[in-house]
């Protein structure tokens, strides 16, 4: 798994790529928490390049979501491939996370400033 | 090894309501209209061919009780939920009250849904029967004796005429029970709970209910996979969705269908049986969860196919 990270206004957009499973869920969690620490308003996790996420990876996202809520920051997810969306649906995480079709939509949902910065980029 | 499920619900019995029966009946009448279903044989065939399990049957409402038949003369069951009454009536119906039997019982833990069937366990009321109750739980004898006591129950435990013994097991130690080798494992659950790996004649069934598995607890995941290793059947607490079990219902002591699939895949188990159904889930909901679980296994499969079923009261599995 690799990460690509970019900043739009006070929001951080993080794009992991590959598989997220038991072997790298801890690194995924640390990357999400680091993104949250550096973001002032919100974090968007774009999963467009993720082809599989296990329960351990979903657990990492739950921890990040809790951290975001306690810090009064936004947390949204975007770009799920059909298979990853299916995993979210079967596990009912589609009811837990704010899920958007694209990173732009997710940034718009969490922060107007982030959307302006994204459109200007 | 033959496994018979006598009770499969979690938390408390969930009898099918009159409204649910009526809904099934209306659905069947509409579906079967103009099909010439004028004999029981035609109606039976229609149920088999045109209706789903949830439409023509029910997953049942009794709480945990699972029989493990290893081919010997003694009986072996896991847990004493309300399904234990059905089991005991079946055993008595087979042998009659005049032929004493020996019943071995493995108790996962002492929450009420897992012991509530004992006051109605008919063999306990018949002299000559032997009932040997085993558990790794430190308070199982106290709990089982305690519920057969005034003011909660009119027949005192001490008045039961059968011979009843309590045998405490240690986790990780294999024991010979009813011709099978039984090994216990501690599980995450409020008030303690224990799973049992049951091996006989080259076949293995794992009974793991009221157990929470945390996906980021790598040590627990590895230990659990080792406990499930190569099992022919894993009877698994799939009470919640994964999202519930690791968010709003974290530390409530139960697990999910997703976790069951992942652990069985890690362990190379052959079959997963979804068990301890959430009592608010109706038959259609449980059937949908099974379908989703089958799909999850399909899209995450990297080796041999994991067979998956959902337990129902009356299900028999031959291993």
Residue A59 and residue B218: Cβ atoms within 8 Å?
Answer: no
- Does B242 contact A83 at a Cβ distance shorter than 8 Å? no
> Is residue B194 assigned to a domain?
yes
Q: Determine, yes or no, domain membership for B19.
A: no
Inform me whether the C-beta atom of residue B219 falls under 8 Å from chain A C-beta atoms: no
- Which tokens belong to B318? 């031959």
Q: Does residue B92 belong to any structural domain of this protein?
A: yes
- Which of A60, A63, A90 lies at the smallest CB-CB distance from B292? A90
- Please report whether residue B7 resides in a domain: yes
ipTM over 0.90: no
> Does the pLDDT at position B218 exceed 90?
no
Question: What superfamily in CATH does domain A2-120 come from?
Answer: STAS domain (3.30.750.24)
What domain count does chain B have? 1
Find the domain containing B289 and state its range. 2-14+57-318
Mean pLDDT for chain B?
A: 96
Of A22, A26, A96, the CB nearest to B247: A96
**B288 in a structural domain:** yes
Does the pLDDT at position B103 exceed 90? yes
- Residue B246 pLDDT more than 90? no
pLDDT above 70 covers a percentage of chain B that reads 100
Model pLDDT for residues A20-51, shown as the tens digit of each residue: 998 999 999 999 999 999 999 999 999 999 99
CB atoms within 10 A of CB B18: 8
Nearest 10 degrees: CA dihedral of B88, B90, B94, B99? 10
- Is residue B30, in this structure, part of any structural domain at all? no
Q: What is the pLDDT of residues A54-97, one digit of tens each?
A: 999 999 999 999 999 999 999 999 999 999 999 999 999 999 99
Where do the structural domains in chain A lie, given as residue ranges? Answer: 2-120
Helix H or strand E segment including B275: strand B271-275
């Amino acid at each position: 798994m690799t990460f690509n990270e970019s900043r739009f206004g006070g929001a951080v957009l993080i794009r992991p790529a590959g598989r997220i499973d038991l072997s790298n869920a801890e690194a995924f969690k640390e990357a999400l928490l680091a993104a949250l620490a550096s973001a002032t308003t919100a974090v968007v996790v774009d999963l467009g390049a993720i082809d599989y996420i296990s329960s351990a990876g979903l657990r990492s996202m739950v921890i990040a979501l809790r951290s975001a809520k306690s810090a009064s920051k936004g947390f949204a997810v975007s770009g799920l491939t059909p298979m990853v969306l299916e995993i979210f649906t079967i596990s009912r995480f589609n009811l837990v996370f704010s899920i958007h079709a694209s990173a732009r939509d997710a940034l718009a949902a969490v922060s107007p400033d982030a959307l302006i910065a994204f459109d200007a980029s | 090894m033959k496994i018979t499920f006598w009770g499969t619900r979690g938390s408390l019995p969930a009898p099918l309501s009159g409204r649910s029966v009526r809904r099934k009946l209306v659905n069947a009448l509409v579906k079967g209209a103009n099909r010439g279903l004028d004999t029981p044989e035609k109606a039976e065939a229609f149920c088999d061919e045109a209706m789903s399990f949830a439409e023509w049957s029910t997953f049942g409402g009794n709480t945990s009780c699972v029989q493990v038949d290893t081919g010997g003369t003694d009986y072996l069951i896991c847990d004493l939920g309300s399904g234990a009454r059905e089991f005991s009536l079946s055993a008595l119906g087979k042998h009659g009250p005049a032929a004493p039997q020996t019943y071995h019982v493995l108790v996962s833990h002492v929450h009420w849904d897992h012991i509530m069937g004992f006051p109605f366990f008919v063999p306990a009321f018949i002299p000559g029967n032997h009932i040997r109750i085993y558990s790794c739980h430190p308070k199982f004898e106290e709990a089982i004796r305690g519920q057969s006591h005034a003011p909660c129950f009119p027949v005192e435990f001490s008045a039961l005429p059968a011979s009843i013994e309590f045998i405490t097991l240690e986790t990780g130690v294999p024991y010979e029970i009813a011709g099978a080798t039984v090994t216990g494992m501690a599980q995450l659950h409020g008030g303690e709970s224990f799973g049992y790996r049951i091996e006989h004649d080259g076949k293995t069934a794992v009974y793991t209910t009221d157990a929470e598995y945390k996906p980021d607890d790598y040590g627990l995941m590895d230990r659990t996979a080792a406990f499930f290793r190569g099992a022919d059947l894993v009877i698994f607490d799939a009470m919640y969705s994964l999202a519930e079990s690791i968010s709003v219902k974290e530390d409530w002591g139960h697990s999910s269908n997703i976790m069951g699939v992942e652990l069985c895949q890690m362990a190379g188990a052959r079959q997963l049986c979804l068990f301890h159904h959430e009592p608010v889930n109706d038959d259609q909901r449980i059937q949908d969860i099974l379908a989703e679980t089958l799909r999850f296994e399909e899209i995450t499969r990297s080796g041999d196919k994991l067979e998956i079923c959902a337990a129902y009261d009356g299900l028999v599995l031959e291993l």
